[in-house]
Amino acid sequence: MRQETIENYLKTIYHLSSHNTLIVSNQKIAGKLHLNPATVTEGVKKLHELKYVVYEKSYGTRLTAAGIKLTLDIIRRHRIWETYLAKELGFGWDEVHAIAEELEHVNNVKLINKLAAILGNPIYDPHGDPIPDEKGNIQKSNFIKLSEAKLGLNYIVMGVTDHSTTFLKYLEKHHLIIGARLNIIAIEDFDNSILLVCKKKEVSISSKASACIIVQTI
């Protein structure tokens, strides 16, 4: 199994397991990686042999301590690259994810740490996702989903969970980028859509969209 394939499996398992709090089925892994279940079964067996995961046929897969360590390193590389591409090279937040998916497999600790130093050792990437430090620690936050916001309060956009180009373009259209300040002026009982003010303009956000926007009270 190629190292790139190993890393893709581990990162997928980590995200599907909600940061290693859940057991992940082969069916879910197959769906996320667009592979057939038989291929995934062989893959997780190999990862089990490498001691990156614990796999039980009738139970599922979870990461070991070694698997978590490597996964957090991959995530660190990915998010440092995203930040460098956005801040230093001028790529849009809708462009950096796909490029970082390739660059994250360059396993050079010195390079990543130098990039981080150039950036001022950022805590969050351009999408608001936390960047693990060199030891794999992730800073805790009190962020919530916009869908959990309260009427009449003010918030600042801290991140997004949907990195698709269409969604990010949608947010840009309404100025709902990282750092944008907004006020909740109405929440519809029927569909939980939210009416808010951002940049002195009223914007109606669907419940589906608001569940993908991360905010903090101000």
Can you state the angle between helices 26-33 and 37-49, rounded to 10 degrees? 110
Please indicate, yes or no, if residue 114 is contained in any of the structural domains.
no
Please indicate, yes or no, if residue 130 is contained in any of the structural domains.
no
Q: Domain total for the chain?
A: 2
Look at residues 21, 48, 63 and tell me which one is the last residue of a structural domain: 63
In angstroms, rounded to a whole number, what is the distance separating the alpha carbons of residues 14 and 17? 5
182: domain CATH number?
A: 2.30.30.90
Please indicate, yes or no, if residue 104 is contained in any of the structural domains.
no
Decide if 35 contacts 13 (C-beta within 8 A). Answer: no
Nearest-5° angle of CA 174, CA 177, CA 82?
140
Please indicate, yes or no, if residue 161 is contained in any of the structural domains.
yes
Decide if 213 contacts 171 (C-beta within 8 A). Answer: yes
Look at residues 44, 63, 82 and tell me which one is the last residue of a structural domain: 63
Look at residues 63, 86, 102 and tell me which one is the last residue of a structural domain: 63
Read out DSSP for 123-170? Answer: SB-TTSPBPP-TTS-------EEGGG--TT-EEEEEEES---HHHHHH
Question: Where in the sequence is the domain holding 181, given as residue range(s)?
Answer: 144-217
Rg (CA), the chain: 19
29: domain CATH number?
A: 1.10.10.10
Please indicate, yes or no, if residue 155 is contained in any of the structural domains.
yes
At residue 141, the pLDDT reads 86
Binned average pLDDT, 10 residues per bin, the chain of 218 residues: 96 92 93 95 97 93 96 98 97 95 97 98 95 93 94 96 94 95 96 96 96 96
Please indicate, yes or no, if residue 29 is contained in any of the structural domains.
yes
Place of tokens 């903090």: 216
